[in-house]
Amino acid sequence: MKTINKIARFFALVGILSTTISVIGIGTANAVTIRLADSDALVFNYANTTKFVGTGKAVNDKILYKNVGTFSGQVIDALVTTVAISGSIADYDNPGSATSNANNFQLNTVGGKVTLRFQFFAGGSYNGPDTGVIVTLQNVRISSIDLDGSTAAGSYQYSDFSGFQKYSMMDPTNLIAIPVTDASTTKPLTRFQANKTGSRSTVPQDQVLIKYDSMQEFYVNFGNVVAGSTNWFGLVFGAWPAGSTPVEYANGYNTPPTSTSKTILMDSRTATVDTFTVGDFGVYDDVDGNPFNSIIISSLPTAGTGTLQYYSGGSWTSTTVSVGQEISIADIESGKFRLNPNSPSSPNTNFNFYVNDGLDNSSGEYTLTITYVGASNEIIFPQPGDTTTAISFASGSTSTFGTPTLTSNTPGTCSVAGLVITTNATTTGICSITATQAGDGSTVPAANPVTRSFTIYKSGVVRQVITFAAPATKASGSGAFASNATTDAAGLKVTLTSLTPSICTVSGLNITPIAPGTCTIVASQDGTASIPAASPVTRDFTVTGTSAPTESSGGGVFGTKTLGVSALSSTTATFNGLVDANAVSTTYKFCYMKESEPRFANETLTANLSGGSKYFGSSYFKCTSDLGTTSSDGVLVSTNITGLSKQNTYYMQIIATQGGTTLYGLPFKFTTSDSNKGLKLWTNPATSVTASSATLNDTATVESDGSTYKILFCTLNKYEINSLSGDLKNCTKSSTVRDSIKKGETKTDSYSYSYTEPGTYYFQVVASRTSNSKTYYTYGNIRSFSTPVTTPTPVTSDATMLKATSAVLNGSINAPSGSTVLGFCWGTSQTLGASNTCTGTAVVAKESPATSIGSKTYSFSLTGLTTNTRYYYKATAKTGSADTATSTVIKSFILGAPTVRTISATSIAKSGSTWSATLSGYVSPVSGTTSIPSFCINDSSGSLDAATGKLATCTSTLAVTDPSSTATSAITFTAPISGIATGATIYFQAIGTDSTTASLITYGSVMSFKTYDNPVVTTISAESISSTSETLTATVKTTNALATTSKFCVSTSSSASNVKGLLDSCLSNLTFTPASTVTAAGTTLETITATVT
C-alpha cells in the first residue's frame, strides 16, 4: 500500500517499470437468464439488505441484498451465505475496509479463511430456504481487490475462485495464479495470491478481475497464508476498477466436463416436430462447478434419417447445423434446436456431440440416439392465477398420454401432492411448478416439460391487479398516447417502464413511439405497507416508420434531419438540414414559426411538440418555397432566412417530399438576439477523422455585443435533438475550448474528440455566458461525421475437435459496425500469402456475417483431412468495402496429435540472487493413446519456427516429472525452473508428443515472464506552496537493472474508493515540470521533485 500525504491537495508518486511483462496468450426449469453488458455493474449495499439469518459473521448466516441491479426490466436480488470460517470475521461489508465505496462488497477477516456463496434470484422472489426464481447471469465481471501482504514472512492474502472462463491482472502484478483444491469439497480452485511482503507503504494493493460467461451462483474464499493476520478484502461487481490497464488470460486450470449418452423417443410425424431439451444430452457433470454452456455437434444423422435444424433469423433452416457447430444451452432451453424426421417412415437415427463448460469440450463424444415412434405426447397445464397462502387447489394439468408428474421448484413457498398444489401456510413469494410426462419408454415419447409460475400473497391482505391492454400498432412520431394502465387498488398509480427506450419512451402514463420496431412496456405497482406489489404486466406493440421524423440512413431509406441554425442574429439566420433521397427525386424546404403564435385556435406550438410529426400544421407558420431537388443520400442543404423579429423564440424544421410521401424533420428551437452585431456561431465540418478520433471545428464572432462567451462542443453518438432547447439531446459537453470571446473578435477553434466505437457521430458548437450567477447557452448548427470503414485484424485461435479426418478452425475479432465477413485461409503449405492476402483455400465461417459491434468468436469445420499431415491456417475478415484483413499469426495442427495448451507460469520468486518459477501446461491425448508432456524454454527470444509453431530455439528442454511423465487422459502438468537472473525474460511453451509416433507432436502457444524487483516509492512532502504552484518531493529506490519512469498524481480529494491507497482520479488540467523522471538502471536511491502549476 502506498502512503499518501494529506496536504492542500492529495498526491502520490507512481513508479512504473519502463520494461513490463510480455505475455503471448493462450490461445433450468425455474430460472431467468440475463446477459449483462460489459459496462453493467451490480450494487452490493449493506444498507439495502434483509438479514434472514444473523449478520453475516457466523457460519450459515444468510444476507439478502435487494435490487443489486435492474436489467431489461428484471430486478435482481443476491443472497450471500457464509459457508465456512477458519478464524473469524471482524467486520462484514462495512465501507472503508478495502474500499470506501459502499456499493462494493467487503470483508475484514482475522486469521484463516472465509468461504462465501453468492446466489442470484429474481427480485422479491426469495423469501427463505427453497424459495425464489433463480437468475442465470451471463457475461459477469467480478474483481477481487486489495490483495497484498504485510511485513510478516509469507503473509500473503488470497482469494479463490472456480468455474470462470477468463481473468485479468494488473501489469505489472504482484499476484500469482496457482491451482489449489478445496479441502472440504475437493473442488479444484484457482488461487490469486499476493507474492510479495514488505511494509504497507511499499507493497501495492493488487486486484484480479474474474469473468464468467454464465453463472447462477459462485463461491469465493478469502484468506491469508499466515493465520492470525488481519486482512481486508473487497469485491467489485462490474468493469475493471481504477488503477491499471489489465492483461487478460484464459483460465488454464480446468477439467473438461463429462456427460452420458442417451436414447430418446421422438414422434416421426413431421407435422409435429419436437424440439430438444437440455435433459436429452445426458447427465452433465463438471468437477470445477462450471455450468453446462453448450454442445458441439461432432457428427450428423445419416442422410435420409432426419435433419438437424436451428432456429435463426426468424425461421427454421436445414442448412445451418454442421459438424463443429456450437449450440448454446440457452438456445436449447428456448426451443431453437430440433430434429426433423423428414418423413413418417424415416429409420431410427443418432448423432454425436461434445459438451462444453465455457472453457473446454469434453474429452470424449456422446451419442444421442433417436427412436422414431408414430405418437406424440403433449402436456396441457393451465396457468394458475395468483393466490393466497394456506390453500390447496387442483392444477388442471393433463397430457395426451398418461398422468403428468408435478414437481415444485420452490418447495419453500408451495408443494405438490399428485396433481394438487398447496401453498405454504406463511411464506409468500413466487411458486414455480414443472409438469413432466415420461411416456412409456417404447411407443410414446416423453413430453416437453411445462413450467408455470404464480405469486402467493398473504390471506386476508388486499390484493391489487393491474389492467393494461396491449396498444395497437402506432407510427413513429405519431405522438404521445394514453396507456390507460390502472390498478384496482384505490389511491395507487401504475408506473410504466420502457424496456426499449430507443423505440418508445414513457412519461407518466403516456407512451411516445419514436422509432420503428417493437415497443415493450412494463406496467408495475410497488404496493404499500398494507398492500402487496402487483404482478407486473408486460405489453408489446409495433411501431411503424410511416410519417416519422427519421434519421439519415446513409442510404437505403428515405429520410431527413433538421440540423439547426447557424449565423444567428436579431433578424437573420441560416437554416440547415439533411436529406436522404434513396435514388428517388425528392424536393425539400424549411418551415418556421414563433413560439408565441398559436398552432390551432387555443393552442401554442410548445404544447404540441410531442404530438405528431407534422409539427407545423396551421396557417400561422411560414415556409420557404421548394429549395431544390435531389436523388442522392446525405445531401446537406441550407438557406438564409431574413425578416425575423429580434429577441423572439422560433422553431424551425426541414420538410422533404418524395412522390406522395412527406417527411418532417424534428423541430429545432432558437432565439434571436437583440442586435445584428451580437454573437454568431458556425459549426464547421470535422477534419482528421480516424477510427478513434476526429477534430471538431467552429467559427464564432462577436461584433459589438458587450457579453463575454466561452466556447465548447456538444457531442452525441446518435441523431436526437431536444426540441425545447435546440441542442443534441443528452449530449456530452466538452471542456472549454476557448475561455473568452468578446466584442470585436472572430475566432476559429478546434477540439480533439476521441471515441472507441465506429459509427456516425453528431456535434455542434456551443457558446455559454454567465449573468447574475446563471449560465445561458447558445447552440450552433449540427454536423456529423462517420468513422472510416476498416476491418480490424482478426485473431487466430487454436484448432479444436481434432479427429481422424476433421478439425474445427477457430478465430475471433472485435467486430466493427456494419457487415463483416468472417473466415479462414488454410492449406498444407505454411505459405498462405502475405499480410491481408490468401493463397490457400478461403472458407467462410458459419457465424458470418457479423453485424454487431463487440468481441465475437467464429469457427469453420474442415472435413476430409488426413492423419499425420500438418495443416496451416489463419483467420480472415472483411468489413463492407474495406480491404480484407488477415491474422498476423499462422497456426497449424496435425491430426492424431494430442491437444496442448500452455498455462501462465506461477510461483515466480527470488531466493538469494536468483529466481525460480513453476511452468504449467495442459495435454489431452487422442483417445486410446499416450502422450509425453514437456516444455521448450528460451531465455533470449520468443521467435517461432513458422513451419511447426515451435520456439525457434530451445535453450533447454524440461522433462515433466510432476504429476506424471506420461498422460493417458487430459492432465495439467508442471515443471520447476530455477537459477534465473534478475531482469531476465523467459519464453516457454508446453509440448505434447505421441508416445509411439514422434511426428505426432503439438506445440502450445508461447508465453513468457520477466524477473524484476519493484521500485520502492515514498511520497515525502509538498513545499514552496503558493496560490498557483507547489513543489512535490518523493524518493524512488530501484534494486535491479531496469530503468524506472516516475510521475506524480494530484487530486483535490483523498478518495480511493476502488483501490485503497490509490487516488481515484488525477487532475488533468495541471502542468508538471518535469512531466516525468527516468531513474537509470542500477540506481539505488534517488530523490524526485516536480513543480506543479
Q: Are strands 795-800 and 807-815 parallel, antiparallel or unpaired?
A: antiparallel
Helix boundaries (H) for 721-783: none
The structural architecture, per CATH, of the domain 379-457 is: Sandwich (2.60)
Residue 853: pLDDT over 80: no
CATH fold match for the domains 549-676 and 686-713+729-788 = yes
% of the chain surpassing 70 pLDDT:
81
**Which pLDDT score, from 0 to 100, does residue 549 have?**
31
Angle at 512 between CA 508 and CA 516, to 5 degrees: 150
Q: 175 pairs with which residues across the strands?
A: 194
CA dihedral 1048, 1054, 1060, 1061 (to 10 degrees): 40
Confidence of residue 600 (pLDDT cuts 50, 70, 90): very low
β-pair partners for 352: 367
What is the pLDDT at residue 274?
74
Q: Cβ(281)–Cβ(356) under 8 Å? A: no
Residue 695: pLDDT band by 50, 70, 90 thresholds? very high
What is the pLDDT averaged over residues 78-95? 91
Q: What tens digit of pLDDT does each residue of 245-259 get?
A: 567 777 777 778 899
Give, rounded to a whole angstrom, the gap between the first and last alpha carbons of the chain: 27
* β-bridge pairing 693-702 and 727-728: unpaired
Phi and psi (nearest 5°) for 572?
A: -135, 160
Residue recorded with cell 394456506: 390
- The DSSP bridge pattern shows strands 366-373 and 262-267 to be parallel
Taking the C-alpha atoms of residue 848 and residue 858, their distance in angstroms, rounded to an integer, is 8
What is the average pLDDT across 6-28? 31
Q: How confident is the model at residue 81 (pLDDT cuts 50, 70, 90)?
A: very high
pLDDT of residue 958: 55
pLDDT tens by residue, 20-79: 222 222 223 456 778 888 778 999 999 889 999 999 999 999 999 998 988 866 789 999
The better pLDDT of the pair 806, 1057 is held by 806
Residue 453 above 60 pLDDT?
yes
Mean pLDDT of 914-921: 84
Q: Whole-angstrom Cα distance, residue 1040 to residue 1046?
A: 16
pLDDT in tens, 514-549: 776 778 787 888 777 777 777 777 788 887 753 333
- Cα angle 639-641-642, degrees, rounded to a multiple of 5: 150
**Rounded to whole angstroms, what are the CA distances from 273 to 37, 305, 350?**
35, 14, 16
The C-alpha atoms of residue 821 and residue 646 are separated, in whole angstroms, by: 56
Q: What are the φ and ψ backbone dihedral angles of 270, each rounded to 5 degrees?
A: -65, -15
Phi, psi (deg, nearest 5) at residue 279: -65, -15
pLDDT digits (tens, 9 = 90+) for 943-961: 877 777 888 888 766 555 5
- Reported as a pLDDT band with limits 50, 70 and 90, residue 1062 is low
User: Do 753 and 763 contact (CB within 8 A), yes or no?
Assistant: yes
Paired residues of 861 in beta bridges: 808
Query: d(Cα 1077, Cα 400) in Å, to the nearest integer?
Result: 80
Place of cell 458587450: 706
How many CA atoms does the CB half-sphere of 322 hold within 13 Å? 13
Query: What ranges do the domains of the chain cover?
Result: 10-17+1014-1092, 31-250, 262-283+291-373, 379-457, 466-544, 549-676, 686-713+729-788, 795-894, 899-1010
The pLDDT value given to residue 235? 93
According to DSSP, the residues that pair with 571 across neighbouring strands are none
Residue 35: Cβ within 10 Å count? 15
Mean pLDDT across 812-826: 78
User: Under a CB-based contact definition with an 8 Å cutoff, are residues 209 and 168 in contact?
Assistant: yes
Q: Please report the DSSP string for 908-970 in residue order.
A: EEEETTEEEEEEEEEEEPPTT--EEEEEEEESS---B-TTT-SBS--SEEEEP-BS-SSBSS-
Please tell me the distance from the alpha carbon of residue 460 to that of residue 191, in angstroms, as a whole number.
52
Per residue in 579-615, is it b (16+ CB within 10 Å) or e — as a string?
Answer: bbbbeeebbbbbbbbbeeebbeeeeebeebbbbbbbb
Q: Please tell me the predicted confidence (pLDDT) of residue 314.
A: 62
Most confident by average pLDDT, 12-16, 543-547, 706-710, 890-894: 890-894
Q: Which helix (H) or strand (E) holds 825?
A: strand 820-827
Lowest mean pLDDT among 5-19, 28-42, 192-206, 581-595: 5-19
Three-class SS state of 461:
coil
Q: Which residues pair with 80 in a beta bridge?
A: 63, 118
Q: Residue 618, Cα to own-chain centre: how many angstroms?
A: 48
* pLDDT score of 1075 more than 80: no
How far apart are the C-alpha atoms of 790 and 882, rounded to whole Å? 5
| Cβ–Cβ under 8 Å, residues 404 and 419 | yes
Taking residues 1039-1043, what's their average pLDDT?
A: 59
Do residues 484 and 493 touch, judged by C-beta distance below 8 A? Answer: no
The answer to whether the CB of 770 falls within 8 A of the CB of 738 is no
Between 243 and 390, the more confident residue is 390
pLDDT tens string 169-215: 876 677 778 778 777 666 778 888 887 655 444 444 678 899 988 88
- Mean pLDDT of the 236-246 span: 72
* CA–centroid distance for 272 within its chain: 38
CATH assignment, 549-676 = 2.60.40.10
Which CATH class name applies to 262-283+291-373?
mainly beta
Closest CA to 871 of 809, 810, 822, 924: 809
The CATH-assigned architecture of domain 795-894 is Sandwich (2.60)
- The CA distance from 851 to 79, in Å, is 37
Q: What pLDDT, on a 0 to 100 scale, did the predictor assign at position 818? A: 61
| Secondary structure element (H or E) that encloses residue 1049, with its range | strand 1044-1051
Contact 877, 885 (CB under 8 A): yes
If DSSP codes are grouped into helix, strand and coil, which group holds residue 871?
Answer: strand
Residue 1061: the pLDDT is 55
Q: How far is CA 1006 from the centre of its chain?
A: 28
* Interval 398-427: pLDDT, tens: 998 889 999 998 898 899 999 999 999 888
pLDDT band (50, 70, 90) for residue 723: low
- Rounded to whole angstroms, the Cα distance separating 667 from 653 reads 5
How buried is residue 1049: exposed, middle or buried, by Cβ count under 10 Å (0-12/13-18/19+)?
Answer: buried
- The C-alpha cell of 1044 is what? 524506472
**Closest by alpha carbon to 298, among 808, 798, 797, 796?**
808
Three cell numbers, residue 631 = 436523388
Segment (H or E) for 796:
strand 795-800
Q: Please report which confidence band the pLDDT of residue 428 belongs to, taking 50, 70 and 90 as the band edges.
A: confident
pLDDT at position 611 is: 36
Return mean pLDDT, the chain.
78
Highest mean pLDDT among 555-564, 988-997, 1067-1076: 988-997
CA distance 435 to 456: 19
Q: Count Cα neighbours of 874 within 13 Å in the Cβ-side half-sphere.
A: 25
**Residue 250, all three cell numbers:** 484464459
Closest by alpha carbon to 779, among 683, 678, 705, 706? 683
Looking at domain 686-713+729-788, does it have CATH number 1.10.3210?
no
pLDDT the model gives residue 1021: 66
pLDDT computed for residue 3 by the predictor: 27
Domain covering 899-1010 assigned CATH 2.60.40 in the classification: yes
Cis peptide bond upstream of 963, omega within 30: yes
SS3 330: helix
DSSP type of residue 333: H
Phi, psi of 772 (to 5 degrees): 55, 45
Question: Among 80-84, 617-621, 697-701, whose mean pLDDT is lowest?
Answer: 617-621
What is the model's pLDDT at position 397? 93
The DSSP result for 586-616, as a single string, is EEEEEEEEETTSEEETTEESGGGTTS-S---
Query: Which CATH number is correct for 466-544, 2.40.30.10, 3.40.309.10, 3.20.20.140, 2.60.40.10?
Result: 2.60.40.10
Residue 871 CB burial class (10 angstroms; 0-12, 13-18, ≥19): buried
pLDDT one-digit tens code per residue, 323-355? 888 888 888 887 889 888 877 777 889 999 999
CA distance 835 to 969: 38
The predicted pLDDT at position 61 comes to 95
pLDDT at 826: 92
> Grid coordinates 435433419 are at which residue?
307
User: pLDDT tier at 556 (50, 70, 90 boundaries)?
Assistant: very low
- Residue-level pLDDT at 633: 80
Residue whose C-alpha cell reads 457465424 in the numeric block = 847
The C-alpha atoms of residue 875 and residue 859 are separated, in whole angstroms, by 9
Place of cell 457464509: 82
Of 192-206, 329-343, 495-509, 965-979, which range is least confident? Answer: 192-206
